[in-house]
Structures are given as C-alpha cells and as structure tokens.
C-alpha cells in the first residue's frame, strides 16, 4: 500500500473517531446547558409575572380600601338594605332606598372600570347584602357565612385576599379582595369587597408573554389551580397534571420538574404565597440542543475536511513526492549496484538534509560513514526541537483561547448582573417607598384618625424625605438604563402647553414661599411628537433648578416655535454659574460649589435631562452670568409621527 493511501486512511480513521466521541459526549452536555438556559430565562420571566401579579393585587387592595372609605358605603343605617336571609324567588323584594341606590351606583362604577372584577358587594352584620348588579338567583343567602365575610371579620385592620371559593348562584370560582367596615369606636359592622374570577385571572396572565411557547400556571399553597389557559383545569388539584410530582412541587420554593412531555419551571411568590410555573415543551429544549449539535458538527466536519485536504497537499509536496523520488533511486541502486545516480537535492528542511545525506552516503559510503551518522543525529535533534516548539505554541494558543472565553463570560455576567440590579432597584426599593408615601398621605389626610400638629409635622418630613429618596432612586435607575442602552421611549404626538402649565403650577407654592415672581410667556398650543413623560421630567428639572438657586427676583418661562424646532427657555435672576464651571453642568454626580449655600441632590438631574433630550433628537444649552442669573434653553425638533 502506498504512503499516500495510508495517510488518507489514517486521516479518515481519526475523523471518524472524533465524530463518534463528539456525538456521544456533546448531546448530553448541550442538553443540560439548554435546559439550564431555558430555566434561567424562564425564572426571569416568572419574576416579572410575579411582580405584575403583586402590582395587580396591590392595586385591587388599594381600590377596595378607597371604596371602604366612601361616605355612602360607610352608612351605618342599614336596616332597610336588601336582605336575602329568608327569601325565595316568589317573595324577594329588593331594597329601594336612596342610600342603597347610591351604594349600588358606586359599586357598579367600580366593577365597570375594572375589567377583571366579576362583582362588587357589601355585607352587613344584620344579614343585609348589596351588590353592584342583581344576583343570578334570588334565593336565601346569608353573607355572614361566606368565606370573604369571615376572613375580613378576622382581619379588621387590613385589606385581605381570600382563598379561591365557588359562587352560590353561578358556576364562577372567585378570589375575594375584602375590607372590614369599622365605626369610629373600631366596632365591626360589615364587609365591602370585590371578586376576581379565576377566568379573569387567567385572562390577565394570558396577556403576559413569557417569551416561550409554554403555558403559565398559577396555584395556591395547597395546590389548587388559580390560573391556567385550559379553563377546565381551574379550581382543580394540580396533582391531576403533576401526578407523583405534586408533593415535590408543593414542598419546594422553586425548581424544575420533568413531566411526561414537558418541563415545569416554577417559582414561589414571597408576597402572595402562590406558586407560579411555566410548562415548557421538552421538544423546545431538544430543538435548541439539536440546533447546537448540528452547528458544532457542521463546523467540525468542515474543519476536518479543510485540515485533511491541506495536510495531504503539504505532505504530498513536501514529504511524499520527495520520498518517492529517493525511494525510486534507492531501488535502482539496490537492483543495479550503480552508484552513479542523479540524486536531486532541494530545500534545507529534513527532506533536503536526507537527500544530501543520501547523496554523500552514495559518494563516500565508507569513508564518510561517521559524518553520515552525525547528520542523522542532527536530523533527530531538529525534529525534536520542532515538536517541542509546536507543543509550546499549541499550549499558548489554548491558554489564550481559555482566557478570552473567560473574559467573554465575565462580560456577559456583568451585563446580566446590571440588568438584575436595575430590576431589583425598581422592585425592591421603589415599591416599598411608594407604599410609605401612600400610607403617609392617608395618615396626613386623617383617613385613619385624627393626628396632632407634631405628628403632622413628622409625617410631612417622612413624606418629603420619601419622595426625595424615590426621586434619587428613579434618577439612578434611569442613568443605569441609559448607560446600558435600555432606555425606552413612549413616542406619541401631544400638546406641550398643558404639560408646561402643569409643571409651572407645581412650583408656584415653592416660589411663593421664597417670595419669587414666577411668570410665563407661552402660546395656546404647541404640538410635538415625542415622549410626554420624559419631556415633563426634563421641564421639572429645569424649572426646579431655577427656583432652587434663585433667592430673590423672578423666574420666567417662555415657549415658542422657531422654524423646525420648539424652544422652551427658563431664565432666572439667581446666583448664576461661573463660566469655567458651565461645561461641568451636564456631567454625572457633579455639583457646582455655591458659596454659603447647601443644596440637596446628587448631581444627576441635568446629566439625565441632557441624555433624555439627546435621545429625543434635541439639546439643552445654557447662558449664565455669575451673580446675575442663568438661562437654560430646551430645543426639541417638531416632527410628525410619520417622520
């Protein structure tokens, strides 16, 4: 068998061996990696859904709390309200007092403005029961025995959520959001609440896109299904779906359960206690694995083919062909004994050295035997050094490749941590701060009882400090989103004048306290296409800075259109800015030192405003004279939605 044939067979054997090893090891590794990737992505989506559900439930609680404070709803005179204790379809007579009609109108308005609410109702200790709409069947009914009534009575100071329960007159399964009614002495006399049907809950989660082809499922801590795309499964036991996996599902906070043809990726809500899961078809994981395997094998085959072809070409030119020539000459010498052969010598590599040595051997077979051996030793040393150099080079290439891969993974991890930090900041800090502000306002308005002047003063300090902290957190989150390239703009056409008027009005009280004259020169209408909320944020920052740094005199706001641009200028008679410090205004965390003044803030306002305006295609310029005042000019392009 020729050398060239043996080399080709060797290459083929190596290629087949590599393909077999890759085909055995790669699927197992990639399948687990694909499942891990799907799990991590799904858990992030479940966290977002949990946040949405918490916001949805907290919103319902807040609205029920407001409903319980309505004067008409709190009316203690309930002796003439509709009562179902001993009625039948033939004997039923609804209450028709003006007080009850006013309550029904309030409950009906609440129901019609909340799409996921099935009914709104109120029960009293005397057995009276008032609903936002008529009952399906006018049969005997005692609200005091219903789960929603007993739960609210047991928790009179809180807005509470019931477990899922069946309606008496309809096939609906509901979750109640209820609040006890207490008189001025704290005595319990009734309950007001609203029902969210499980179908309504399912409709809510159906509008949430988990980013995969799976199905979302929500259960309570006992395994009762609260939301699922198949309405037949609602209010059934999750064991019908999970079978023997139910115990593990209920006993663990989160995890991944392999089902018959699917994977269940689940997570337990800390606030609600519900388990939120995503059923992902196993074929989706297998599809990702197969795509990865196909890609790897394709590139591997291409690489092996290219390597084999190049190796054969080089071997044939540099080794096989010269060796074949020397072999032919050796055979002729052995057959004929004729040493007068034309031995070609080309190149200085191992083959060239071999040809030279062979020629010298033929010419001086005895006298030069020693030199021939030395040449062979030199050849061996050269080959050893070459192999050593090749091994060192391969080691360095592997090390550099590993370092690059680790660096790329580190960058991906940093980006993921940054996104998680933004989401965590938004949820873990802003949500409790909003609750603090909301409950502080409730206390200040006296909805929870009268407070004295000192308490009012302290509560106002809490409210102001909370709003200031919330503003700082919002600025930091916005900066993080901008620097990560994830700032989202809600673009639409709007009239800037109402936004400007509302912003100016919010500073009138502050200007009055500082004896400042707040004037404006604005037209009746200025249409612009942009982000209304972000534009308001920039205007608040510009006008707020003018009021903050002006001790006496006036602040003047002017708005006008100029060609293809819209201009809003805010000029003041304040302390002004040194000329050498103007370029530092729009840098993050920079606060211009002002002699004798202590001002709040982080130095992010103007930096964030400039970034927002730049994203909207505009700019902010400033003119200032130290001791005489400053003028900030906001320029925005006037564009249509089509543009």
Cβ(126)–Cβ(138) below 8 Å:
no
Task: Pick left, alpha or beta for residue 604 (phi over 0 → left; psi -120 to 50 → alpha; otherwise beta).
Answer: alpha
Distance, CA of 350 to CA of 64 (rounded, Å):
91
Under the banding of pLDDT at 50, 70 and 90, the label for residue 572 is very high
Percent of the chain with pLDDT over 70: 80
Pairing of strands 129-131, 165-166: unpaired
Which token pair is 162?
A: 């019931």
- Provide the residue count of the chain: 643
Distance, CA of 44 to CA of 419 (rounded, Å):
11
In eight-state DSSP terms, residue 128 is: B
Distance, CA of 195 to CA of 234 (rounded, Å):
16
Q: Output the pLDDT for position 152.
A: 94
For residue range 129-155, list pLDDT tens digits in order. Answer: 998 888 877 888 899 999 999 999 999
Cβ(34)–Cβ(296) below 8 Å:
no
For residue range 211-243, list pLDDT tens digits in order. Answer: 556 778 888 888 888 777 777 777 788 888 888
Q: Which one is the CATH code of 17-306: 3.40.440.10, 2.40.110.10, 3.40.190.10, 3.30.450.20? A: 3.30.450.20
pTM of the model: 0.41
Quick one: average pLDDT of 319-341? Answer: 73
Strand locations in 532-618 (E):
553-562, 565-572
Highest mean pLDDT, choosing among 33-47, 383-397, 412-426: 383-397
Under the banding of pLDDT at 50, 70 and 90, the label for residue 424 is low
Cβ(194)–Cβ(114) below 8 Å:
yes
For residue range 267-279, list pLDDT tens digits in order. Answer: 888 877 888 888 8
**Cβ neighbourhood burial of 574 (10 Å; 0-12, 13-18, 19+):** buried
- Its CATH class, for the domain covering 491-637, is alpha beta
Distance, CA of 497 to CA of 560 (rounded, Å):
10
- Residue that has been written with the tokens 């030069």 in this structure: 368
Which segments of 364-452 does DSSP mark as H helices, in order? 369-424, 431-444
Which token pair is 51?
A: 């946040």
- Residue that has been written with the tokens 């900066």 in this structure: 479
Cβ(554)–Cβ(573) below 8 Å:
yes
Q: Output the pLDDT for position 347.
A: 62
Under the banding of pLDDT at 50, 70 and 90, the label for residue 471 is low
**Domain assignments of the chain as residue spans, ordered by start:** 17-306, 364-486, 491-637
Mean pLDDT value across the chain: 80
Return the minimum-mean-pLDDT range out of 142-146, 178-182, 230-234, 548-552.
Answer: 230-234
Cβ(190)–Cβ(143) below 8 Å:
no
**Cβ neighbourhood burial of 509 (10 Å; 0-12, 13-18, 19+):** exposed
Q: Give the sheet arrangement for strand 619-625, strand by strand.
A: 516-521, 553-562, 565-572, 629-637, 619-625
Distance, CA of 178 to CA of 165 (rounded, Å):
14
Is pLDDT above 90 for 418? no
For residue range 372-413, list pLDDT tens digits in order. Answer: 667 787 778 878 887 887 888 888 888 888 888 887 788 667
Select from 188, 183, 107, 184 the least CA-distant residue to 144. Answer: 188
DSSP string across 80-122: TS-B-TT--TTT------HHHHHHHHHHHHHHHT-TTEEEEEE
For residue range 500-518, list pLDDT tens digits in order. Answer: 999 999 899 889 999 999 9
Distance, CA of 285 to CA of 279 (rounded, Å):
12
């Amino acid at each position: 068998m020729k050398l060239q044939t043996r080399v080709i067979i060797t290459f083929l054997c190596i290629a087949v061996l590599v393909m077999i090893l890759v085909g055995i090891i790669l699927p197992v590794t990639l399948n687990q990696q694909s499942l891990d990737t799907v799990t991590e992505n799904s858990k992030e989506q479940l966290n977002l859904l949990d946040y949405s559900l918490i916001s949805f439930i907290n919103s319902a609680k807040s609205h029920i709390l407001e409903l319980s404070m309505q004067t008409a709803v709190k009316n203690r005179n309930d002796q003439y309200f509709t009562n179902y204790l001993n009625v039948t379809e033939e004997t039923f007579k609804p209450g028709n007092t003006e007080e009850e009609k006013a309550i029904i109108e309030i409950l009906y308005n609440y129901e019609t403005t909340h799409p996921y609410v099935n009914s709104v109702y109120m029960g009293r200790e005397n057995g009276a029961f008032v609903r936002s709409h008529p009952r399906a069947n006018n049969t005997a009914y005692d609200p005091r025995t219903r789960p929603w009534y007993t739960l609210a009575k047991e928790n009179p100071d809180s807005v509470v959520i019931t477990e899922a329960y069946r309606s008496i007159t309809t096939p609906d399964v509901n979750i109640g959001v209820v609040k006890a009614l207490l008189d001025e002495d704290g005595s319990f006399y009734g309950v007001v609440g609203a029902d969210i049907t499980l179908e309504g809950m399912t409709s809510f989660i159906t509008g949430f896109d988990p980013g995969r082809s799976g199905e979302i499922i929500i259960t309570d801590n006992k395994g009762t299904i609260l939301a699922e795309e198949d309405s037949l499964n609602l209010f059934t036991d999750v064991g019908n779906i999970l079978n023997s996996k139910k115990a593990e599902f209920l006993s663990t906070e989160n995890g991944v359960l392999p089902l018959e043809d699917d994977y269940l990726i689940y997570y337990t809500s800390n606030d609600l206690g519900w388990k939120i899961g995503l059923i992902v078809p196993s074929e989706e994981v297998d599809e990702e694995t197969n795509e990865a395997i196909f890609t790897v094998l394709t590139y591997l085959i291409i690489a092996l083919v290219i390597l084999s072809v190049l190796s054969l070409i080089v071997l044939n030119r540099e080794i096989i062909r010269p060796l074949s020539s020397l072999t032919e000459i050796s055979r002729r010498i052995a057959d004929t004994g004729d040493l007068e052969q034309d031995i070609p010598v080309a190149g200085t590599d191992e083959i060239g050295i071999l040809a030279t040595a062979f020629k010298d051997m033929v010419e001086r077979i005895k006298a030069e035997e020693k030199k021939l051996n030395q040449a062979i030793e030199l050849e061996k040393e050269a080959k050893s050094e070459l192999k050593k150099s090749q091994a060192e080079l391969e080691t360095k290439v592997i090390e550099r490749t590993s370092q690059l891969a680790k660096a790329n993974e580190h960058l991906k991890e940093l980006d993921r941590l940054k996104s998680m930090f933004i989401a965590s900041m938004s949820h873990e800090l802003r949500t409790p701060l909003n609750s603090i502000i909301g409950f502080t306002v409730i206390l200040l308005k006296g909805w929870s009882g009268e407070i004295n002047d000192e308490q009012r003063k302290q509560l106002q300090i809490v409210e102001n400090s909370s709003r200031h902290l919330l503003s700082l957190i919002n600025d930091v989150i916005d900066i993080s989103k901008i620097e990560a390239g994830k700032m989202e703009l809600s673009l639409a056409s709007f009239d800037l004048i109402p936004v400007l008027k509302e912003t100016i009005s919010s500073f009138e009280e502050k200007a009055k306290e500082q004896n400042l004259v707040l004037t404006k020169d604005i037209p009746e209408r200025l249409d612009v296409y942009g982000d209304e909320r972000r534009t308001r944020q920039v205007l608040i920052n510009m006008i707020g800075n003018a009021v903050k740094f002006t001790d006496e005199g006036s602040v003047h706001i002017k708005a006008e259109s100029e060609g293809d641009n819209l201009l809003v200028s805010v000029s003041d008679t304040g302390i002004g800015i040194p000329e050498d410090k103007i370029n530092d205004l729009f840098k993050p965390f920079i606060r211009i030192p002002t002699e004798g003044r202590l001002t709040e803030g982080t130095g992010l306002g103007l930096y964030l405003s400039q970034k927002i305006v730049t994203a909207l295609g505009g700019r902010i310029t400033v003119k200032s004279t130290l001791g005489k005042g400053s003028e900030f000019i906001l320029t925005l392009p006037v564009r249509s939605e089509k543009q």
